[in-house]
Chains A and B, each alone.
Chain A
């Protein structure tokens, strides 16, 4: 899989806590910069800066609506992250399920 330069890397983009908050907020629907800044108690230039990074890696898209510019989450761009965590999640999930069953069985026998 081709990798982009570090600054425009999806992983890097979401490593920043405020940017993750922005993504979670946008997961609920389109928002303007001002709405985002207000909801997350950020200064508007700060919110703009984060949105620029997110837009650069394709995590958000923007469209003009009258005077406003509305930002939207682009689900497709989360795919590399999803592909990275999936084997992990599957591995631990199955181990956890089995461990859970073992622990229940064991405690039943003890009673």
Chain B
């Protein structure tokens, strides 16, 4: 099942424990990989626009730890952390991902950077440990994203 929105992102669910987001960027692969792995560049794009992201830790090597903190206008902080598992410049990056607001629900994200005629296709695969983890995140996601029930996916499926 896949959906396309107005931009070039595509979301697919290859299994009941995986979500894949794909997007093609008009930039060379080395540069896109750098944006993911350079602590100076993370604050430029990581996190919601309405927040400011600071890099607390970012040790880009297998076993190295990362921790990013988002601050909103009211001073609320949302921190994320994880551990780098695999670094293959400029092709692939794998790390664990945990939102400190809902500890214990860890997922593994594998980002692949594929060259496509001067452009770069970025694929983010998010894998949950178990369906229990997935459901835990579903519940907290529902609290956080509260009441924004819309049936866009259903509509898209119905119109595709």
* Interface positions of A (Cβ within 8 A of B): 1, 3, 6, 9, 11-12, 14-15, 20, 23-24, 27-28, 73, 75-76, 78-90, 92-104, 106-107
B154 within 8 A of A: yes
Contacts of B131 in A (CB 8 A): 6, 9, 11
Shortest A21–chain B CB gap in Å is: 10
Kindly identify, within residues 9 to 43 of chain B, every residue whose CB is under 8 Å from any CB belonging to chain A.
9, 11, 13, 15-16, 19, 21, 23, 25-27, 31-32, 35, 41
Contacts of A103 in B (CB 8 A): 25-27, 31-32, 35
Complex formed: what's the CA distance from A9 to B135 in Å?
A: 12
Shortest A66–chain B CB gap in Å is: 25
Question: 16 A–B contact pairs at CB < 8 A?
Answer: A1-B142, A11-B16, A11-B134, A14-B1, A15-B13, A20-B1, A78-B153, A78-B154, A79-B151, A84-B134, A88-B126, A90-B145, A92-B124, A96-B21, A98-B44, A101-B45
Shortest A92–chain B CB gap in Å is: 4
Instruction: Give the residue of A1, A27, A106 whose beta carbon is less than 8 angstroms from that of B31.
Output: A106
Nearest opposing residue in chain A for B141, CB measure: A87
Instruction: Give the residue of B124, B139, B157 whose beta carbon is less than 8 angstroms from that of A73.
Output: B157
The answer to whether A75 and B155 have CB atoms under 8 Å apart is: yes
The secondary-structure label for the interface of chain A is helix
* Interface positions of B (Cβ within 8 A of A): 1, 5, 7, 9, 11, 13, 15-16, 19, 21, 23, 25-27, 31-32, 35, 41, 44-49, 122, 124, 126, 131, 134-135, 137-139, 141-142, 144-145, 148-155, 157-160
Contacts of B7 in A (CB 8 A): 93, 96-97
Say whether, besides A11-B131, A98-B44, A99-B25, A85 and B13 are in contact (CB < 8 Å): yes
Nearest opposing residue in chain A for B135, CB measure: A3
A-B contact sample (19 more), CB < 8 A, given A11-B131, A94-B48: A9-B16, A14-B13, A27-B160, A75-B151, A79-B149, A82-B152, A82-B154, A83-B138, A85-B13, A85-B153, A88-B141, A89-B11, A93-B5, A96-B23, A97-B7, A99-B35, A100-B26, A103-B25, A107-B27
Shortest B143–chain A CB gap in Å is: 10
